[in-house]
């Protein structure tokens, strides 16, 4: 009994930081519709700044709490800086484009933190007056846990007063319901957004600082909390503070009890709960369905046109370079070395992966946050067949797209019922469930050690042979995806995205169509996974991680979601940049800063540049978007 | 003669509000039937139930003798019901012709074909439909750049793509200039006469209603309060009192 009560209290105390971070995330999303991935970084900064502030102010009975509040305010100001310098410039960009910007911020903050505070974990200062433990029915509980338990309701009450008893709070609630209406009433949105960013970021900073006596500060905090915070926000209902409170307690308890009951499946539990909630209550426990048609009005996409001459020429040129590269490698090994071939193979694999994601994201309007499930799922399908059946490459290779497609059929059946951010979150949940299974089911998947020994058959085992095989599959894959988009299938997919109302009124079963598209996309992601697993000779759970899903997302968004060339350009640029920076110290900072710069300079994505500036410059008269993949082919 | 559409005691409540209550009526082939009523009378709810966007609480909707109540919109369309919306709904990333092609492709159940490009399919039929609504010259323009009146015509062409027996038009002339209204309704008249389609439409413009409807139903607070020829409805005391007021004079003008 005592053990139960102490576990319960521990769960409640661990919900505190979760609630603070999630409520901030929820407030920011509610008003600005920005999914702030950098929110975990603000939490981490809160912890680090808290440590410094306690040292500076002195950890006395008053000093400690002053320092914590200072940390929260400092993080709030960092959030304001992000809003003014970055987000404010891209509110008019396509939906979710701000995501990339916040990705960039994550990377920059990681390296800045590393640079200022070093790589060692910091031990948190202890809270004066709460350093001991209380004994409950023979079980000991740190006194500070009781402080944390009290914090959430206090903050909840404070927020309630702020939102219900002040003019500013009323405006925030109104903007959460209908942003257009609030702006039509003459409210200056800029300062509303800035204020919301301050409040939301400060809450995250407070969360990071207040958990210091319990958890200290380390460089993994950002990613460790962000997934859980998203789960809390989604389970509670986007934009609902009360929902975040309930969900934080639910998830907090789930984690502490989960460790005791299912020590081997703690990771899966949280995402399982999120999946179940989204399936039965698509808008979360206390969330409300979004008012349709009152989001950001985007400029319509231009009609799809067959590749123009210029793009076809460019595509042919790229293909020629790809085909001749190994020849150059044999002729001048010094200039075109082995590493370059490996890099180009990697680039091609990610181009296919990104194109597969773009297939549903661009024409389908379905943003998946969990596409690594199919990339990694495909890779694991092949690797498992090798491990347990010693299947040769010719057979195992095909298991990848098939396995990924099966997974997509299963996940897709649930996911296509939702739209927008909720769809994205459910894909994330399923991807995390798949990842947890792979990670924690060591006997079958090898867990963290992965599966080794997936090498190509003899005929494809030389670098050059495998290179050509990759070129063949990737080019064929891209052409097939492109072909489908120009076929009635792709038109129907776009119809469902452009106007669900009209699509249904001309007999299109949108959900079923999206389900099929999701499956096709999964199969092609799996094919990329197959190419990957045989090029590396091994596969690890990292291929199914959130980070891998975000890579693909970043490639598509960075390339430009409204262009068929987008994923190709984006994947190439990002893989190349990753490789370029990876040897440098502070490569994250460089990559993050580059991403932020690209976002600010090219709000339509990299392909937007190719389609407009370059095209105009060269007089190719390519249409504004939807033009040409790698363009060797015009379906006619 | 059996009616094309028979609606029997259709009802829907939202929370405690009875939006539509025991509404019964029939639409015959070749007939233009207007559904009018003040704002909040339940016209749109009624429409959305007919088209499957809202599931009725109870009541039957018989299309050519088959109950379609509660079917999803895409199934209802396949049974021969076309629809235009109060606020036009077209595919903004497609050209005018592609919009109509899309409906034709769907009508042929070809929407899942993965290989042959869509550009070359159903072009002749699409152009014929566009020609019928007077939009032939604008086939290559993007739908997103059209004038509103032209969009309404495109919607009509889309709605005709499956050769419907019944056409539901929700405020077909809303947001249009007076001249465009006359032209669009004349077009609707012609098409109904040619194809013997039954049309049910809602409309706020009483000139349009009294000039074009063969029969008029008046809905108030979810209930049908009158039904009959334009003359009969115009003369109905209850209608005058509750709803029409001075508009009747305008309608006579």
Q: Which one of A487, A513, A626 has the shortest CB-CB distance to B113?
A: A487
User: DSSP code of A303?
Assistant: P
B24 at the A interface (CB within 8 A)? no
Q: In whole angstroms, what separates CA A412 from the centre of its chain? A: 18
Q: Which of A67, A72, A104 is nearest to A85 (CA)?
A: A104
Q: Which one of A300, A483, A506 has the shortest CB-CB distance to B144?
A: A300
Q: Which is it for strands B32-36 and B215-220: parallel, antiparallel or unpaired?
A: parallel
Return the number of other C-beta atoms located less than 10 Å from residue A4's C-beta: 12
Q: Closest residue of B to A486, CA-based?
A: B117
* pLDDT of amino acid A301: 80
Q: Which is it for strands B5-14 and B58-63: parallel, antiparallel or unpaired?
A: antiparallel
- The tens digit of pLDDT for each residue in A585-629 reads 888 899 899 889 888 887 777 776 655 555 455 444 333 333 333
The b-or-e profile of A205-238 (16+ CB within 10 A means b, else e) is bbbbbbbbbbbbbbbebbbebbbbbbbbbbbbbb
Give the separation between CA A98 and CA A35, rounded to whole angstroms: 8
CA dihedral A134, A61, A74, A148 (to 10 degrees): 20
Give the separation between CA A486 and CA A304, rounded to whole angstroms: 8
Return the number of other C-beta atoms located less than 10 Å from residue A261's C-beta: 10
Residue A582 has, within 13 A of its CA and on its CB side, a CA count of 7
* pLDDT of amino acid A240: 86
Structure ipTM:
0.91
- Phi–psi pair at A305, nearest 5 degrees: -130, 145
Tokens encoding A357: 């994601």
**Inter-chain residue contact B93 with A508, CB threshold 8 Å:** no
**Inter-chain residue contact B118 with A300, CB threshold 8 Å:** no
Cβ distance A607 to A565 under 8 Å? yes
Contacts of residue B74, Cβ cutoff 8 Å, sequence gap at least 6: A503, A504, A505, A506, A507, A508, A509, A510, B52
Interface test with A, best of B81, B94, B97 (most A CBs within 10 A): B94
**Inter-chain residue contact B162 with A300, CB threshold 8 Å:** no
Please tell me the distance in Å from A564's CA to the nearest CA on chain B.
Answer: 14
**Inter-chain residue contact A504 with B91, CB threshold 8 Å:** no
Give the separation between CA A296 and CA A289, rounded to whole angstroms: 16
Q: Which of B180, B242, B181, B228 is nearest to B206 (CA)?
A: B181
The CA-based angle A221-A225-A228, given to 5 degrees, is 160
Assess whether pLDDT exceeds 60 at residue B29.
yes
Q: Which of residues 84-143 of B touch A (CB under 8 A)?
A: 85, 89-95, 98, 101-103, 105-107, 110-121, 142
Tokens encoding A248: 């934080």
* pLDDT of amino acid A632: 35
Please tell me the distance in Å from A636's CA to the nearest CA on chain B.
Answer: 7
* pLDDT of amino acid A318: 94
CA dihedral A173, A175, A178, A180 (to 10 degrees): 160
* pLDDT of amino acid B245: 56
Cβ distance A583 to A577 under 8 Å? no
Give the DSSP per-residue string, A1-47.
Answer: -HHHHHHHHHHHHHHHHHHHHHHHHHHHHHHH----TTHHHHHHHHH
Q: In whole angstroms, what separates CA A156 from the centre of its chain? A: 28
Low-confidence ranges of chain A (pLDDT < 50): 293-296, 615, 618-636
The CA-based angle A7-A13-A18, given to 5 degrees, is 120
Assess whether pLDDT exceeds 70 at residue B7.
yes
Give the separation between CA A436 and CA A559, rounded to whole angstroms: 30
* Chain A interface, Cβ < 8 Å to B: 300-304, 306, 483-484, 486-492, 494-495, 497-499, 501-510, 513, 516, 626, 635-636
Please tell me the distance in Å from A521's CA to the nearest CA on chain B.
Answer: 13
Give the separation between CA A210 and CA A46, rounded to whole angstroms: 8
> Which residues in chain A touch residue B53, judged by CB atoms under 8 angstroms apart?
504
Q: Which of A324, A144, A270, A288 is nearest to A216 (CA)?
A: A144
Give the DSSP per-residue string, A160-229.
Answer: HHHHHHSHHHHHHHHHHH-HHHHHHTT--HHHHHHHHHHHHHHHHHHHHHHTHHHH-B-TTHHHHHHHHH
* pLDDT of amino acid A307: 83
**Inter-chain residue contact B94 with A626, CB threshold 8 Å:** no
Higher pLDDT, B242 or A198: A198
B48 at the A interface (CB within 8 A)? no
Q: Which one of B115, B142, B158 has the shortest CB-CB distance to A303?
A: B142
Could you tell me the pLDDT band of residue B13, with boundaries at 50, 70 and 90?
very high
* pLDDT of amino acid B253: 37
- Domains present along chain B, CATH in parentheses: 1-80+166-253 (3.40.50.300), 90-163 (no CATH)
Return the number of other C-beta atoms located less than 10 Å from residue B179's C-beta: 9
Q: Closest residue of A to B145, CA-based?
A: A300
Please tell me the distance in Å from B59's CA to the nearest CA on chain A.
Answer: 22
C-alpha dihedral sign at A107, A110, A115, A119: negative
What average pLDDT score do residues B15-44 get? 90
**Inter-chain residue contact B92 with A487, CB threshold 8 Å:** no
Q: Which of A636, A588, A504, A214 is nearest to B83 (CA)?
A: A504
* pLDDT of amino acid A624: 38
In the 3-class helix/strand/coil scheme, how is A598-623 assigned residue by residue? HHHHCCCCHHHHHHHHHHHHHCCCCC
Higher pLDDT, B252 or A289: A289
Give the separation between CA A599 and CA A93, rounded to whole angstroms: 9
**Inter-chain residue contact A508 with B119, CB threshold 8 Å:** no
Q: How far is CA A370 from CA A267, A377, A552, in A?
A: 16, 11, 9
* pLDDT of amino acid A265: 67
**Inter-chain residue contact B118 with A302, CB threshold 8 Å:** no
Q: Which of A327, A345, A349 is nearest to A552 (CA)?
A: A349
Contacts of residue A237, Cβ cutoff 8 Å, sequence gap at least 6: A243, A244, A283, A284, A285, A286, A287, A288
Q: Closest residue of B to A516, CA-based?
A: B112
- The tens digit of pLDDT for each residue in B55-78 reads 999 999 999 999 999 999 999 999
Q: At what angle do helices A63-85 and A189-210 cross, to 10 degrees?
A: 140
Q: How many CB pairs under 8 A join A and B?
A: 127
> Which residues in chain A touch residue B89, judged by CB atoms under 8 angstroms apart?
499, 501-502, 505
- The tens digit of pLDDT for each residue in B144-203 reads 899 888 999 999 999 999 999 999 999 888 888 888 888 899 999 999 999 999 999 998
**Inter-chain residue contact B74 with A509, CB threshold 8 Å:** yes
**Inter-chain residue contact A491 with B162, CB threshold 8 Å:** no
Give the DSSP per-residue string, B91-138.
Answer: -TTSBHHHHHHHHHHHHTT-TT--SS-GGGTTHHHHHHHHHHTT-GGG
* pLDDT of amino acid B6: 94
Q: Classify residue A331 as exposed, middle or buried by CB count within 10 Å of its CB (0-12, 13-18, 19+).
A: exposed
Give the separation between CA B232 and CA B216, rounded to whole angstroms: 9
Please tell me the distance in Å from B215's CA to the nearest CA on chain A.
Answer: 25
What average pLDDT score do residues B11-16 get? 89
Q: How far is CA A387 from CA A204, A265, A399, A459, in A?
A: 44, 24, 13, 20
């Amino acid at each position: 009994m005592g053990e139960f009560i102490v576990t319960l209290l521990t769960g409640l105390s661990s919900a505190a930081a979760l609630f603070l971070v999630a409520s901030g995330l929820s407030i920011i999303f509610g008003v600005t519709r920005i999914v702030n991935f950098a929110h975990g970084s603000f939490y981490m900064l809160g912890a680090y700044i808290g440590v410094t502030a306690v040292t500076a102010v002195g950890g006395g009975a008053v000093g400690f709490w002053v320092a914590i509040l200072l940390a929260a305010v400092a993080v709030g100001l960092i959030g304001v800086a992000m809003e003014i310098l970055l987000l404010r410039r891209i509110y008019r960009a396509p939906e979710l484009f701000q995501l990339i910007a916040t990705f960039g911020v994550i990377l920059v903050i990681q390296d800045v933190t590393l640079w200022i505070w070093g790589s060692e974990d910091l031990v948190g200062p202890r809270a004066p007056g709460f350093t001991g433990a209380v004994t409950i029915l023979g079980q000991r509980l740190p006194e500070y846990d009781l402080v944390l338990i009290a914090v959430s309701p206090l903050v909840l009450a404070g927020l309630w007063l702020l939102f219900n008893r002040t003019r500013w709070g009323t405006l925030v609630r109104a903007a959460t319901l209908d942003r257009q209406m609030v702006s039509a009433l003459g409210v200056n949105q800029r300062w509303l957004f800035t204020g919301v960013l301050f409040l939301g970021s400060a809450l995250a900073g407070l969360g990071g600082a207040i958990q210091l006596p319990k958890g200290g500060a380390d460089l993994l905090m950002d990613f460790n909390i962000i997934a859980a915070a998203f789960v809390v926000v989604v389970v509670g209902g986007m934009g609902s503070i009360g929902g975040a409170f309930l969900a934080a307690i639910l998830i907090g308890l789930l984690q502490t009890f989960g460790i005791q009951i299912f020590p081997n499946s703690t990771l899966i539990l949280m995402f399982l709960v999120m999946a179940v909630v989204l399936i039965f209550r698509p808008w979360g426990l206390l969330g409300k369905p979004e008012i349709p048609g009152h989001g950001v009005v985007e400029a319509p996409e231009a009609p799809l046109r067959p590749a123009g001459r210029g793009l076809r020429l460019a595509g042919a040129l790229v293909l020629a370079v790809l085909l001749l590269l190994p020849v150059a490698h044999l002729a001048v090994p010094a200039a075109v070395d082995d590493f370059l071939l490996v890099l180009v193979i990697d680039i091609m694999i990610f181009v296919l992966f990104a194109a597969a994601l773009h297939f549903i994201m661009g024409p389908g309007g379905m943003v998946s946050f969990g596409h690594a499930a199919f990339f990694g799922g495909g890779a694991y399908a092949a690797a498992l067949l090798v491990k347990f059946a010693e299947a040769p490459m010719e057979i195992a290779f095909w298991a990848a797209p098939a396995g990924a497609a099966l997974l997509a059929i299963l996940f897709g059946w649930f996911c296509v019922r939702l739209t927008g951010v909720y769809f994205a979150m459910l894909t994330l949940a399923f991807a995390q469930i798949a990842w947890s299974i792979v990670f924690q089911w060591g006997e079958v998947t090898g867990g963290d050690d992965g599966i080794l020994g997936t090498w190509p058959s003899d005929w494809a085992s030389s670098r050059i042979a495998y290179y050509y095989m990759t070129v063949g599959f990737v080019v064929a894959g891209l052409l097939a995806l492109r072909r489908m988009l120009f076929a009635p299938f792709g038109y129907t997919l776009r119809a469902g995205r452009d106007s669900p109302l009209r699509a249904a009124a001309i007999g299109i079963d949108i959900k079923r169509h999206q389900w099929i598209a999701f499956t096709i996309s999964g199969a092609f992601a799996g094919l990329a996974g197959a190419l990957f697993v045989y090029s590396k000779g091994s596969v690890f759970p990292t291929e199914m991680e959130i980070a891998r899903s975000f890579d693909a997302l970043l490639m598509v968004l960075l390339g430009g979601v409204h262009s068929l060339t987008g994923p190709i350009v984006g994947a190439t640029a990002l893989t190349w940049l990753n490789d370029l920076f990876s040897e440098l110290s502070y490569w994250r900072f460089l990559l993050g800063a580059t991403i932020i710069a690209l976002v600010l300079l090219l709000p339509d994505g990299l392909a937007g540049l190719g389609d407009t500036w370059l095209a105009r410059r060269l007089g190719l008269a390519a249409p504004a978007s939807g033009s040409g993949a790698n363009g060797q082919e015009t379906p006619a | 003669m059996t009616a094309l559409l028979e609606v029997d005691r259709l009802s829907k409540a939202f929370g405690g509000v009875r939006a539509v209550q025991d509404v019964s009526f029939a639409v015959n082939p070749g007939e233009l039937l207007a559904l009018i009523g003040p704002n909040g009378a339940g016209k749109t709810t009624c429409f959305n139930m007919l088209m499957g966007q809202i599931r009725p609480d109870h009541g039957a909707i018989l299309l050519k003798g088959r109950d379609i109540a509660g079917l999803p919109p895409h199934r209802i369309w396949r049974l021969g019901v076309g629809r235009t919306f109060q606020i036009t709904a077209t595919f903004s990333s497609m050209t005018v012709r592609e919009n109509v092609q899309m409906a034709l492709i769907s009508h042929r159940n070809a929407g899942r074909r993965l290989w042959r490009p869509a550009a070359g399919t159903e072009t002749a039929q699409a152009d014929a439909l566009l020609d019928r609504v007077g939009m032939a010259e604008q086939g290559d323009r993007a739908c997103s750049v059209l004038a509103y009146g032209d969009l309404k015509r495109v919607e009509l062409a889309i709605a005709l793509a499956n050769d419907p027996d019944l056409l539901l038009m929700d405020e077909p002339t809303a947001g249009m200039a007076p001249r465009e209204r006359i032209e669009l309704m004349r077009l609707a008249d012609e098409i109904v006469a040619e194809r013997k389609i039954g049309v049910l439409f809602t409309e706020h413009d009483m000139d349009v209603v009294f000039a074009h409807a063969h029969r008029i139903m008046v809905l108030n607070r979810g209930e049908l309060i009158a039904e009959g020829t334009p003359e009969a409805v115009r003369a109905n005391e209850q209608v005058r009192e509750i709803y029409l007021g001075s508009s009747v004079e305008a309608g006579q003008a």
